[in-house]
Structures are given as C-alpha cells and as structure tokens.
Amino acid sequence: FFSTQQSSNIMYAYESVHAQTQRWNIAMAVIAGVCGVVAVGSIASLVSPTTTLYAPAATAVRPMTQVAAPVPVSRMAAQRQAAYVEAAQAQPVEETIIYQAAAPAQSWAPLAGLLAIPAAVVAFLLNRSNQAKTAAAGVGAAALLSATPALAADVKLGGDSGQLAFVPSSVTISAGESVTWTNNAGFPHNIVFDEDEIPEGVNAAALSHEDYLNAKGDQVSTTFNTPGEYSYYCEPHQGAGMQGKVIVN
C-alpha cells in the first residue's frame, strides 16, 4: 500500500508530465502553423505565371537622336551651303544596349518553402508520439492510484506513554477510504470489529485483523465502502477499555 505522500507524489509526477506536454503541443502547433503558411505561400508563388526561376539576359534596342550643332551658313561659300544644311538636320541612329537582369527575389522562395512541408510533417509525428507517451503515463498513474486504497486516517495501537488505547479512539472518513493501524506500544494488539456494532450487511470478519501484531511498526489497513459507524476493540486488552470507532460518511 502507498501512503498519502506517495500517492501525492504520483499525481504530481503525472501533472508535471501533462504540463510539459501542453507546452510541447503549443510549440509544435506554432511550428506547424508557420511551416504551413510558408509552404502554401511558396506553392502559390511557384504556380504563379509571373514567377520565373531563372532570369535570362535581356537585350534592348532604343532609338537615339544625334543632332549636330547649327552651322553659320551666312559665312559659307554658296557651293558648300547645301552640305552644311544637310549636316545640320537630325540624323536618327540606333544604339544597342545589352545587360544582364538580376533574378527576381521570389524565384527561390518556392523551392525553399517546399522544405517546410516535411518539417511540418516531422513536427506533427513528434507531437503524436509525445501525446501517446503522456496518455500511457496517465493510464499507468490512474491504474496505480485506483489499485491503491485512499488512506484517510492513521491510528496508533498503544499511546506514546504506554497506555492501552487506540490513538485517536475515533476517526471519521469518507466511503472508499481506508484506516491504517500501526503497532506503537503495549503490544501485542489486534483489531476486531463487533458484528453488532457495524452497518447491516457488512462482514465483520472481513474488516477485522485478528492476528496479533507483535512488533513495533507493524501495520494493517482496512477500506470502508459502506457509510455508517463501526466499533472495534483490541481482543487482548478489551477488558482494559481498548476500544475504537470508525465513522464513514
């Protein structure tokens, strides 16, 4: 049987594991959410008709106007005037410019974003594994606690100063809880329930511990499931008034 402190330690351990799992679940949800958003945005960018993964070299041709300075024809000879006038007219030429365009910034985003998909899957699987471990721990703790009687009261067999008595002589518990008797002084002792002083239908022999407790620290326990009052006594010291009572609510 486990003491009240041991039962509390078991519940504390389970609650600690549960709290850690909650924090892990929140972290995994954030990671999976970010990865999902990046992946969706990247896929959308990948299938967009405006996205190019590689930018080719671009060639542009633009017209350029070259204008010659006006020539003072008034001072020229007549025979050369026509040539100067023709030279002063605008002469269109073409200029060819070749340059290398930089790849768009979003070109590599789809490829990088696709890596978020396996990352999200891994985070999901790790989360499920952690949840399974926590569930197993919870089931184990619940099974252990259900198999352990709920200890509600401790009674000494014999007072610290050697008196022949149950200390305390009366205890009150709830249905389903247990009382533990510990051999303390003036032994041997035992615990015998009076069949006329217990609730109807309850087996007094099943509650009693008639074997003598002969060593200090020996313990026995009884679980009470039926509400009512239970009177008991120590058989070797009944004549000395060593009697006790358990009240079950």
Write out the chain's pLDDT in tens, 249 residues: 445 555 555 666 667 666 777 777 787 777 777 767 776 666 666 566 655 544 444 445 455 544 444 545 455 566 666 666 666 565 554 555 554 544 444 445 555 555 666 766 766 776 666 666 666 656 555 555 554 445 689 999 999 999 999 999 999 999 999 999 999 999 999 999 999 999 999 999 999 999 999 999 999 999 999 999 999 999 999 999 999 999 999
**Looking at residue 158, what is its pLDDT?**
96
CA-based nearest residue to 1, from 212, 154, 226: 154
Alpha helices in 74-229 (DSSP H): 78-88, 109-114, 116-147, 204-207
Q: How far apart are CA 106 and CA 55, in angstroms?
A: 11
Specify whether 237 is catalytic: yes
Burial of 19 (0-12, 13-18, 19+ CB in 10 A): exposed
Known catalytic membership, residue 242: yes
Which entry of 18, 64, 76, 242 is annotated as an active-site residue?
A: 242
Q: Does residue 18 carry a catalytic annotation?
A: no
How crowded is the C-beta side of 206, counted as CA atoms within 13 Å?
A: 8
H runs (alpha helix) in 103-225: 109-114, 116-147, 204-207
Residue 209 annotated in active site: no
Task: Note the pLDDT of residue 179.
Answer: 97
Q: Active site residue: 35, 64, 209, 234, which one? A: 234
Using CA atoms, how far apart are residues 35 and 145, in angstroms rounded to an integer? 41
**How many C-beta neighbours within 10 Å does residue 90 have?**
8
